[in-house]
Amino acid sequence: MATVALVVHNDRSSAANLARDIARWLDERGHAVRLLPSDAEVVGRPDLVVAPESLTTGCDLAVSLGGDGTMLRTVDLVSSADIPVIGVNLGQLGYLTEVDPARLRDAFEQYFAGAFQIEERMLLSVRVDAPSGGVDSEAAVALNEAVIEKTESGHTVRLDVTINDHFFTPYATDGVIVATPTGSTAYAFSARGPIVAPTHRAMMLTPVSPHMLFDRTLVLEPTTELRITVAGHRPAALSVDGRMLGQLQRGDGIVATAAEHSARLVIFSPRDFHQILKSKFGLSDR
């Protein structure tokens, strides 16, 4: 029997209801279910609580119940343990999620029968180097992107970029985005970055409203070590996959490269990325 971790959108009653139903369904079939404390509270199953540090120990599968934001949270929780993730779409766009709620039981049946594939997605490793102490100096992992951006309206920030220990250029900009191929259709897309097939391996450095002639995205090898440092007197905010980590001061920065582990997403049929794009953006056939 399998051990399944459920990760639940805490502000959607539909996610809590589905988690409650599927936990009962799994339990009736002899599978073990785990929930983090905050998720167990909204689901109403305190008997399934495990401590965050124990979530992945002996876990076979993680299930994300929400939208793409919940999927990002799930990947962050389990990717270092190489645990596969099924994404259930209770959100809007659903770029990352694979299964509609009505199909979840069928999806479990397929998964337990071995009728699935694993699609690996590159993750970004973000190491913080912040002598000021404004951000904890620890590594974070991103499926979409890391963003360093201005904190004050009407002002830019100055950010120095170094590639593989060679200084590249300073940016006077509203911010910069370091994105994975998966993240190319997230914030980087709104900043006019390229759309990259999600199973590709690369890093994209995209400036946000730069006050300079050079405004193009750099597409870099995944082995690249990219360092971004706050060079001016104005601070910059750092976020990773939408999670705000704090403010970087002059001399603070990050080092980004491909992570050691990949996100392992469960799929039940080949994903046609181009058809997904057509559907999400309403592109016509003629």
Specify whether the CB–CB gap between 60 and 3 falls below 8 A. Answer: yes
Long-range contacts of residues 28-33, Cβ cutoff 8 Å, at least 24 apart: 29/1, 30/1, 31/1, 31/2, 31/3, 31/4, 32/1, 32/2, 32/3, 32/4, 33/3, 33/4, 33/5, 33/6
Specify whether the CB–CB gap between 27 and 45 falls below 8 A. Answer: no
Give the number of other CB atoms < 10 A from CB of residue 54. 12
Distance separating alpha carbons of residues 100 and 214, to the nearest angstrom: 42
Q: Which two tokens stand for residue 30?
A: 């002899």
The secondary element (H helix, E strand) that includes residue 165 is none
As annotated, the active-site residues are 68
Cα-based distances in Å from 25 to 21, 31, 98: 6, 9, 20
Identity of the amino acid at 29? R
Closest CA to 170 of 188, 156, 154, 152: 156
